[in-house]
Amino acid sequence: MSKRERKRLLRILISAVLYIAAILLPVGGIGRLAVFLVVYGIIGGDILLKALRNILHGQVFDENFLMSVATVGAFCLGEYPEGVAVMLFYQVGEWFQSYAVSKSRRSIAELMDIRPDYANVLRDGQLVQVDPEEVQVGDTVVVKPGERIPLDGIVTEGVSSIDTSALTGESVPRDAEAGQAIISGCINQTGRLTIQVTKEFGESTVAKILELVENASDKKSKSENFITKFARYYTPVVVIAAALLAVLPPLLTGQEFSIWIARALTFLVISCPCALVISIPLSFFGGIGGASRSGVLVKGSNYLEALAATEVIVFDKTGTLTKGSFAVSSIQPEDMAAAELLEIAAHAEDYSNHPIALSIKKAHGKEVDSSRVTDIEEIAGHGVRAVIDGKETLAGNGKLMAREKIHYKPASSAGTLVHLAIEGKYAGYICIEDEIKEDSRQAIQELKAAGIRKTVMLTGDADAVGQKVAGELKLDKAYTELLPADKVDRLEELMGEKSAKGKLAFVGDGINDAPVLTRADIGIAMGGLGSDAAIEAADVVIMTDEPSKIAQVMKISKKTLWIVRQNIVLALGVKGIVLVLGAFGLASMWAAVFSDVGVSVIAILNAIRALNIKKL
C-alpha cells in the first residue's frame, strides 16, 4: 500500500469514528450542524475543492460535481448524516479504486525494475562504473553475480545462470556461456560474465520493453472508448434530468419543493457513472498486468480485446514453431555402422562453422582428430572433398554426388541431406532437420481448445520440410517455398476467409516477418530470439520462445472481456433500477449510496480478478 493510500485510509477511519460520535452525541440545532460540518470538511473537503477547480476550468459535469451538489443539497435539507455518509462512502469507493489500480500496476511496475542503474565498463584494464546510456557498441562490460545485465551483447568470458523471470515470467534460470547472446534486464546469478556490447541502451531489449509498457495505456479498446463517450454525454443529461425532477413535479402537482429536491439529489447520487468509468479501464489494465506477469507484453487494451475475437492464427516456421537450429535426425549408412559414417562426416566437416557442420559435430559428440584429415577442398554450393585416413572422402549435397558421377539413392527425407562417398563409392547420408520446439504441439492443441478455427503455417522452406512440420503439429494448412512478398499475399487471402467480426493473428520472429506482422489484425512477435524489426512491428510480444504463451494470453483476453461485460451489466442494471425507484421517491439516499459506491466497489473487486492468471 502506498503512502498516499495509507493517508486516505487513515482519513476515512478518523471520519468514520467522528461520524458515529456525531450521531451518538446528544447535541441538536446549530451544535449538531457544526459537528457534522467538521466531519464533512475532513472527509469531503478535497472533493469540494476539486469540483470548484474543475468548474473554473470549464469541466463542470464530473463525479466531483455530482457528489458536491448532492451532499451540499442534503445539508440544505437538514439531512446532515445522509450528506456526510454519501461523501464518506464515496471516499471508501475512491480508496478501493486507488488500491485496485496500485495492485494492477504492481505486476507491470515490476518490469520497471529491470532498468539497470549502472554498467561496469572495462577501460584500460580497469572497471569504471558509468550510466548504461554512456556505453557504446563494442565496449566490454563486466557483470558480477547479483548484478543486472545492463545492455544486450555477446558473452566473451565466463559461465553463469541468468534469472530472466522479470522479462519472461520463467522461474527456471537460463545458462549463459562464452559465445552466447544475452539480453539486458536479466540478473546474473552465479558467475562473473564479460560481455561485448552489441546495442546502445536506447536500442536494447530493456529500453524497448520499458517503452512498450509506458505506452500500453494509450491504445484504448472499443469498450473503453465507448465508456468515455458515454460518460461525456451521460453526466450532463442526468444533471438536467435531476434539475427537471426538482422543478417540474412541484409546479405541475402543487407538492412541496423540498420533497422533489430531495428526490433530485438522490437521483444525482444514483446517476454517478463511477462504476463504469473506473472498472472498465481497470479490467483491461488488470488483463495487461496479468499478461505481463506471464511474460507477454500487450501494447494496448485494443489488442487485448482483439485477441478474444481471434479465430485464425498464422505462424512463421523457423524460430517460431521450430528452434531455428539444426540437429541430426537420422543416419542412413551403406555397408558400415551409423556411428562410423557420423565419425567420418564429423572429420570432413571439422574445418567449417556452418550450422549444418556444427550439428554433425555436435551429434558426433567426440573430439575430432584433425591429424587424420588432409587436403581439404571446399566445393562452393556442393560440399567438401577431404582425405581422411588416406582415403578420398566426399561430403555434400546431391549435386556433388552427380558431379563426381557417384550413384546414390535420392532420399525422401524432409530435411537437409549430407551425402558421403569414400574412394568413389557411396557410403550413405545424414539427414539434418530444424528441430520443432518442445511446446509447439501443446500450443496448437491449446489454441484449438481455446476456439481457434484455423491454424496455418507460412514458410520459405522446401515443401517436403514444411509439410512434415505441419503434419507433426497437426496444422490445418501449410504454404511453403514463399518469399516475403508471397507471405503477405497468402495472408491477404486468409484474411478474406475469416468472418466479419473475427480477427487474424500472425506469429513470427524474423526481420522478413515485419511486413506480415503489420498487415495482420494482430501481430505477435517471439521476443526471446526475435528481431528488433519484428518486435517493433508487432502488437503483442512474447518474451520467451514458447508458442504456448499465445494460448495463455488469449485466455487472459477472454477472461478480461468477460469481466468487462459483467461490470457493464452490473453497473447499468443496478443504476437503472434504482434511478427509476429514486424518481418515484421509493429509493432513499442510502440506496443511492449503494447504487453508486457499493456497485463501484463490487465492480472494482471484480476487475482485480483479471490479474489472477494462476488458474489459466
- Amino acid sitting at position 18: L
* pTM (predicted TM-score): 0.66
Comparing 225-239, 318-332, 365-379, 453-467, the range with the smallest average pLDDT is 225-239
Least confident of 224-238, 288-302, 366-380, 408-422: 224-238
**177-195 mean pLDDT:** 86
pLDDT digits (tens, 9 = 90+) for 548-585: 889 989 999 999 889 888 888 888 888 788 878 877 77
By mean pLDDT, which of 66-75, 336-345, 549-558 is the weakest?
66-75
Instruction: Please report whether residue 492 resides in a domain.
Output: no
DSSP 148: B
Q: Is residue 148 included in any domain, yes or no?
A: yes
Q: Which of 410, 436, 462 is the last residue of a domain?
A: 436
Q: Which pLDDT score is estimated for 154?
A: 92
pLDDT score recorded for residue 533: 57
203: number of Cβ within 10 Å: 13
Nearest to 320, CA basis, from 434, 206, 486: 434
Residue 188 falls within a domain, yes or no? yes
Reduce the DSSP state of residue 96 to 3 states and report it.
Answer: helix
- What is d(CA 507, CA 491) in angstroms, rounded to the nearest whole number? 12
Number of domains in the chain: 2
Q: Which helix (H) or strand (E) holds 45?
A: helix 29-56
Residue 83 lies in a domain: no
Expressed as residue numbers, the domain containing 181 is: 119-208
Beta-bridged to residue 314, according to DSSP, are 456, 506
- Given a contact cutoff of 8 angstroms between Cβ atoms, the answer to whether 98 and 8 are in contact is yes
Query: Which pLDDT score is estimated for 78?
Result: 78
Query: What is the rounded CA–CA span in Å between residue 79 and residue 93?
Result: 21
Query: Is 168's pLDDT higher than 60?
Result: no
Distance CA 425, CA 212 (A): 59
Show which residues are catalytic.
316
Q: How confident is the model at residue 228 (pLDDT cuts 50, 70, 90)?
A: low
- Summarize pLDDT for 415-438 with one digit per residue, the tens: 778 999 999 999 999 988 878 888
Does residue 111 form part of some domain?
A: no
- Closest by CA to 96, choosing from 573, 605, 579, is 605
Cell of 88: 464518506
pLDDT single digits (tens) 513-533 = 777 888 888 989 886 545 565
* Of residues 592 and 81, more confidently modeled: 81
Residues 439, 546: contact at Cβ < 8 Å? yes
What separation, in Å, do the N-terminal and C-terminal C-alpha atoms of the chain show? 27
- C-alpha Rg value of the chain to the nearest Å: 34
**Phi, psi angle pair for 388, to nearest 5°:** -120, 120
Region for 397 from its dihedrals, namely left if φ exceeds 0, alpha if ψ lies in -120 to 50, beta otherwise: beta
| Within a domain: 374 | yes
Q: Mean pLDDT, to the nearest integer, of 403-420?
A: 82
**Local structure of residue 614 (DSSP, 8 states):** T
Average pLDDT over residues 320-349: 88
Q: Which of 205, 111, 170, 165 is nearest to 439 (CA)?
A: 170
Closest Cα to residue 231, out of 174, 191, 266, 273?
273
What CATH number is associated with residue 157? 2.70.150.10
Cell of 557: 483476453
Coil vs helix vs strand at 385: strand
Q: Which residue has the higher pLDDT, 209 or 606?
A: 606
Tens-place pLDDT, residues 121-130: 998 888 899 9
Residue 505 falls inside a structural domain: no
Flag whether 249 is in a domain: no
278-298 pLDDT per residue, tens: 777 778 877 887 887 777 888
510 touches 525 (CB < 8 A)? no
Place of cell 560440399: 383
Query: Which residue do the cell numbers 453526466 mark?
Result: 235
Domain end call among 208, 225, 240: 208
CATH number of residue 416's parent domain: 3.40.1110.10
What confidence tier does 196 reach under pLDDT thresholds 50, 70, 90?
very high
Q: What is the pLDDT of residues 85-140, one digit of tens each?
A: 878 877 887 787 677 666 655 555 555 456 678 899 998 888 899 988 889 999 99
| Paired strand residues for 194 | 142, 157
Separation between Cα atoms, residue 490 and residue 513, nearest integer Å:
13
How high is the pLDDT of residue 574?
84
Where is the domain boundary, 208, 235, 268? 208
Asked if 337 and 590 touch (Cβ cutoff 8 Å), the reply is no
Residue 105: what pLDDT?
Answer: 57
